[in-house]
A and B are shown apart, each in its own frame.
Chain A
């Protein structure tokens, strides 16, 4: 019977009694502890604590930490901190915030100072938890508030470090900006708990490395008087300044690139093909990150967010463009490697190429005649590549494009990197539910059609050709340092994969890319220079398909919104490449005429700078040696 079995036996009964005796002693002891503590607090310390409760005036002040500095590869400071004052109201016994706001407004009015919208506060008020009324008040306002301190109980000016973006618009998309933590961000799990009012990185490197840059808030217990002003400090925990970040960017080159693009829309990306270090990353138009320093005004935000030119978008990593003729080396590498052609194979270009009932044109209407690989690339003969495309088919082209790092994010140290698009048969079936058309492969083989790449992917693909076939992860961060300059982490080259193209075939293609710039008839002739041999490829991307009819074509090309995107991708010096550059200018015209000169200015600046600054900073990169700017 279950019931019998459940009964206690003799052994257990005896055990229980002994155990309860012990237990009783433990519980009485624990209770005595509680009672004694209560006696101590309420009776012995009672009067003292009652007094403290009556003028409870110990306020906890948050000491905001300073964020770390951001420097360029030569340790020039790009982002700095500056103290600013915020006007805060500390509710204590007096919680009449409306009255204080009115008084402040009157004081401002008397001195004809700008009156902000102070009265918007409606939330809950907790004792001694400050409410921010106005951020970054100037010296005049600070003086006014301080001199009238006695009439303004609870009002305090608090020091808050704010960011100073020394290079402004030029580096805005890389470095990003900071802002007050949002409600959603507060709910996120993170290593250090954050509290409302904390400043965190919102965009760019500021966001990507927020944990390193942010530092740690300190706190101070201060005794305040009836007017809410600090009387003395009762205890303090210092804030910890955030760590510094050294970027691979060279701000002098960044500046040259920014100037060369001017007020056009577009992007430039430059990297060291030997290790993937990004030297410049420009996107135009840009915005002023200093606007975000003390909370961006609604008007400014609206203007930025609704700007049709999208100044907040980092075109160099999020802009997706048809690669146009800059794609041709990829197709050539595929055809060579697959053994479908040799460098000597020729095709005849009469200016058109027929596929089924569609006619595809070469950009040179009269045709190039007999064309081999070298001339095909140098003169950018479309018909030659139509033939290669027809031989390869879409999926083989896609496989090689992916091997070049196109079609997926490369993993640069920034958020919002886009993947571009490398179409395949399956992709089209999934996306449109339609089978692939052969004609689409033909457009694809000259980088038109569905193909999309980001400027960063383009420069990375050319860097891969330049270094003989190693795909590196593009890196923006050179090293992390503590706030006092001790190196914490050095980032070295990170190899993603090796290009499945033989060194011989890479040499053949690179030779042709050299020809583009240095041979007569090459489309990138503008770039020919003595000091360093440049090898590169122009591209002119049609924004939308052009009509077949000649007159309509010309009319369409002339209108600004349908103007072609100009592209140029290159590396230099040809023999021993140390820099790769990609330029894309939106609706700007032909690649050779418009984009190549921008790259030219940049490469000139690079080699001038090399001569001016010795030793070469790139060689020291891996060792992580400290260099101080004089």
Chain B
């Protein structure tokens, strides 16, 4: 399975590795700053834990790189099944805080299977679409099975409840479907029926669920929660100005005005301390990573590899866009972490494994060629 192959080293994708390590490094410094003032509340400082997670992530990345990815893809449904089982475990015996049950606790570490599901869904969808290649665009009826693949974890995740991750799964599915090709007629029918169905769907919701969705669209409805957070976040970002306040000098951050400042709102910490210029550098790094990912997808010599590379890249893009949009107050607040920068092991390790796969696909186009 793992045979040392000189070509793996010769054609190694250094660009990808350097981009990811840069992002992780920036994330680490940022978490150090964000957690600086919170030091008294943690036994182990968050940045130390984050270092542990990065190391685990690197190991995962290496494993994903050295294994022949076709072996991984052949067992895509098994990985998918296991991740669904983990969701089931969360449902039955998960660890819950503040009314949502998302984690499995293993010793002092907690793991969030819904992060893993993002990757296994990409693998399962890629495998399905690879097997059922039509040579033409898909119609709605032919999308029944892949839709079910997404719907099962989607239902579990909504139940937790975790609206953000659920939405990411749906967006991921739509992106991949548009990528493999969908008839114009089907796109039209799907859009119209979704619009028509939404009022009916609305009736089935309980009043509090309706309220949640309304809050989702206009945060003003919930001034005690997300509305206040957005204001504080926007003040933090804006006060950073062109050059930022400097490392460990963000007053919003250090005075703990920011909500979730190590996890979902890390970008406001970064933007406060490093300003518009720092933000630009971060965005350029992310864009390089995303465009590099697409380059890998375009140049992949097999359909499966292209699909997986596309899926992983578009996942990173959507998470980035939604997270930044939320921090900057142009999108509603849903719990989506910033890839590689947010504190939290599950998201980071899964993303690093995904990047390992990208490297794998990248390097193997040379191997497959011969």
- Chain A residues near B (Cβ < 8 Å): 2-3, 6-9, 11-12, 15-17, 19-20, 23-24, 27, 30-31, 33-35, 37-39, 41-43, 45-50, 52-54, 56, 58, 60, 62, 93, 124, 126-128, 186-193, 195, 217, 219, 221, 235, 237
A35-B283 contact given A12-B303, A187-B96, CB 8 Å threshold: yes
What are 14 A-to-B residue pairs whose CB atoms are below 8 Å? A2-B70, A3-B368, A7-B301, A8-B302, A23-B179, A27-B287, A43-B276, A50-B239, A53-B238, A53-B252, A56-B255, A186-B98, A187-B98, A219-B224
The residue that B208 contacts in the complex, of A2, A191, A217, with Cβ under 8 A, is: A191
Q: How far is the CA of A9 from the CA of B133 in the complex (A)?
A: 11
Name 7 extra pairs, CB < 8 A, besides A52-B235, A187-B98: A20-B297, A27-B317, A47-B241, A49-B234, A60-B223, A60-B228, A127-B256
The residue that B287 contacts in the complex, of A7, A12, A23, A31, with Cβ under 8 A, is: A31
Whether B4 sits at the interface, judged by CB under 8 Å, is: no
Whether B325 lies near A34 (C-beta < 8 A) is yes
A15: chain B residues within 8 A (beta carbon): 181
B135: chain A residues within 8 A (beta carbon): 9, 11
> How many interface residues does chain B have, given as a range?
35 or more
Whether B242 sits at the interface, judged by CB under 8 Å, is: yes
- Chain B residues near A (Cβ < 8 Å): 41, 70, 96-99, 130, 133, 135, 178-179, 181, 206-208, 223-225, 228, 231-232, 234-242, 251-252, 255-257, 271-272, 275-276, 279-280, 283, 287, 290-291, 294, 297-298, 300-304, 306, 317, 321, 324-325, 328-330, 368
A217-B224 contact given A43-B242, A49-B234, A56-B235, CB 8 Å threshold: yes
A128: chain B residues within 8 A (beta carbon): 257
Chain B contact residues: helix, strand, loop or mixed = helix
Name which of A3, A6, A38, A52 has the most chain B CB atoms within 10 A of its CB: A38
B206: chain A residues within 8 A (beta carbon): 191
B256: chain A residues within 8 A (beta carbon): 126-127
Whether A16 lies near B306 (C-beta < 8 A) is yes
Q: How far is the CA of A126 from the CA of B224 in the complex (A)?
A: 14
B325 to chain A minimum Cβ distance, whole angstroms, is 7
**Nearest-CB residue, chain A, relative to B304:** A6
A547 to chain B minimum Cβ distance, whole angstroms, is 55
B179: chain A residues within 8 A (beta carbon): 19, 23
Whether A34 lies near B302 (C-beta < 8 A) is no
B234: chain A residues within 8 A (beta carbon): 41, 49
Whether A45 lies near B224 (C-beta < 8 A) is no
Whether A42 lies near B294 (C-beta < 8 A) is no
Whether B239 lies near A52 (C-beta < 8 A) is yes
Whether B235 lies near A8 (C-beta < 8 A) is no
B206 to chain A minimum Cβ distance, whole angstroms, is 7
A204 to chain B minimum Cβ distance, whole angstroms, is 25
Whether A42 lies near B324 (C-beta < 8 A) is no
A60 to chain B minimum Cβ distance, whole angstroms, is 5
Whether A20 lies near B283 (C-beta < 8 A) is no
A33: chain B residues within 8 A (beta carbon): 325, 330
Q: How far is the CA of A219 from the CA of B357 in the complex (A)?
A: 48
**Nearest-CB residue, chain B, relative to A92:** B255
Whether B224 lies near A50 (C-beta < 8 A) is no
Whether B238 lies near A237 (C-beta < 8 A) is no
B325: chain A residues within 8 A (beta carbon): 33-34, 37
A19: chain B residues within 8 A (beta carbon): 178-179
B87 to chain A minimum Cβ distance, whole angstroms, is 18
Whether B238 lies near A195 (C-beta < 8 A) is no
Whether B287 lies near A62 (C-beta < 8 A) is no
Whether B223 lies near A37 (C-beta < 8 A) is no
Q: How far is the CA of A272 from the CA of B329 in the complex (A)?
A: 59
Whether B228 lies near A34 (C-beta < 8 A) is no
**Nearest-CB residue, chain B, relative to A2:** B70
Q: How far is the CA of A17 from the CA of B235 in the complex (A)?
A: 42
Whether A17 lies near B298 (C-beta < 8 A) is yes
Q: How far is the CA of A191 from the CA of B41 in the complex (A)?
A: 31
**Nearest-CB residue, chain B, relative to A62:** B224
Whether A235 lies near B275 (C-beta < 8 A) is no
Whether B328 lies near A27 (C-beta < 8 A) is no
Q: How far is the CA of A419 from the CA of B365 in the complex (A)?
A: 73
Q: How far is the CA of A126 from the CA of B258 in the complex (A)?
A: 10
**Nearest-CB residue, chain A, relative to B302:** A6
Whether A8 lies near B301 (C-beta < 8 A) is yes
**Nearest-CB residue, chain B, relative to A63:** B224
Whether A187 lies near B224 (C-beta < 8 A) is no
Q: How far is the CA of A88 from the CA of B241 in the complex (A)?
A: 35
Whether B239 lies near A53 (C-beta < 8 A) is yes
B294: chain A residues within 8 A (beta carbon): 20, 23-24
Name which of A48, A49, A93, A195 has the most chain B CB atoms within 10 A of its CB: A49
Q: How far is the CA of A52 from the CA of B228 in the complex (A)?
A: 14
Name which of A30, A31, A45, A93 has the most chain B CB atoms within 10 A of its CB: A31
Q: How far is the CA of A620 from the CA of B224 in the complex (A)?
A: 43
The residue that B236 contacts in the complex, of A35, A53, A58, with Cβ under 8 A, is: A53
A127-B257 contact given A27-B290, A49-B235, A195-B224, CB 8 Å threshold: yes
A42-B321 contact given A23-B294, A60-B228, A219-B223, CB 8 Å threshold: no
The residue that A8 contacts in the complex, of B276, B283, B306, with Cβ under 8 A, is: B306
Whether B242 lies near A188 (C-beta < 8 A) is no
**Nearest-CB residue, chain B, relative to A189:** B99
A191: chain B residues within 8 A (beta carbon): 206-208
**Nearest-CB residue, chain B, relative to A236:** B223
**Nearest-CB residue, chain A, relative to B237:** A41
Q: How far is the CA of A43 from the CA of B302 in the complex (A)?
A: 46
Name which of B223, B300, B325 has the most chain A CB atoms within 10 A of its CB: B223
The residue that B251 contacts in the complex, of A12, A34, A54, A187, with Cβ under 8 A, is: A54
A48-B223 contact given A15-B181, A127-B257, CB 8 Å threshold: no
A531 to chain B minimum Cβ distance, whole angstroms, is 50
A8: chain B residues within 8 A (beta carbon): 300-303, 306
A37: chain B residues within 8 A (beta carbon): 325, 328-330
A50-B241 contact given A9-B135, A19-B179, A187-B99, CB 8 Å threshold: yes
Whether B241 lies near A56 (C-beta < 8 A) is no
B239: chain A residues within 8 A (beta carbon): 46, 49-50, 52-54
